[in-house]
Amino acid sequence: MVRNATNRSTRRGFLRTVGGATAGLFAAGPVTAQSGGGETHTVTMATDRGSFYYDPVGLHVEPGDTVEWVNESGQHSATAYTQNNPRYDGSRRIPEAAESWDSGVFEEQGATFSYTFEEPGTYDYYCIPHKTLGMVGRIVCGSPGGPAEESALPESDTPRGVMPPSDTIVEEGSLEWPYVPTTNHGGPPMLFWSSVGVVGLTSAYLFSVYDRSSGRYEELDLPDDE
């Protein structure tokens, strides 16, 4: 009998302990699985009729976010501008405390590579086979900063107008390829139509001057009515 009472007491103590722990868990709120990071962004790598590009070419992320590059077509890589990577012997263009990366050249469609951004700053990267053809990209983690902001990329790596400014990337969040810089005059499309308008007005004015000088509009000497 004593043994049974002891067992019942032991069971009661166990249940009270488990019940108290369970109540404590619910009091603290539901337990959810942790993903271990921030958002995941996708950048495609593509070849299209002689163009080689990343899309988006400019992307803003937050510390802890991951970028996944997906090879949509062609043979490409996603490679950080650091001295230890292939086909690059210039200065570092990612934050000093950030780890370098190199996906290697993908030959198969659908191949992917991921990198998690931890250090704030500006990250420039390139495609090993197509760097000199302008296939470069920029990612700003948090706010712009670091070596990439201290000097411009060589023109051989970046045709004019391809690499977006960091401030624009932060403002827009994501910039599709091809990136065409805009200014207060409205960018290339507005410049085109403005030039057409200027040419048209100038031509109209010159024709008007010529037309008036031809004498077509001088008052005719008509006979008086009888």
Beta strands at 121-126 and 136-141: parallel, antiparallel or unpaired: antiparallel
Rounded average pLDDT over 152-167: 86
Point out which residues pair with 126 in neighbouring strands. Answer: 79, 136
* Between 161 and 190, residue with greater pLDDT: 161
Distance CA 50, CA 205 (A): 44
Query: What are the structural domain ranges in the chain?
Result: 40-175
Distance CA 188, CA 179 (A): 12
Q: Which residues are annotated as a binding site for Cu cation?
A: 127, 130, 135
Rounded average pLDDT over 63-91: 95
Alpha-carbon torsion 86, 89, 93, 97, what sign?
positive
Q: Note the pLDDT of residue 142.
A: 98
Q: How confident is the model at residue 183 (pLDDT cuts 50, 70, 90)?
A: low
Q: Note the pLDDT of residue 155.
A: 86
Q: Which helix (H) or strand (E) holds 42?
A: strand 40-48
Per-residue pLDDT reduced to its tens digit, 105-155: 999 999 999 999 999 999 999 999 999 999 999 999 999 999 999 999 988
User: Token pair for residue 91?
Assistant: 């200065």
Q: Note the pLDDT of residue 181.
A: 84
Q: Note the pLDDT of residue 90.
A: 85
Average model confidence (pLDDT) across the chain: 76
Distance CA 184, CA 182 (A): 7
Q: Note the pLDDT of residue 37.
A: 66
Decide if pLDDT at 211 tops 80: no
Q: Which overall architecture, per CATH, does domain 40-175 show? A: Sandwich (2.60)
Rounded average pLDDT over 166-178: 97
Q: Which residues are annotated as a binding site?
A: 127, 130, 135
Q: Note the pLDDT of residue 195.
A: 47
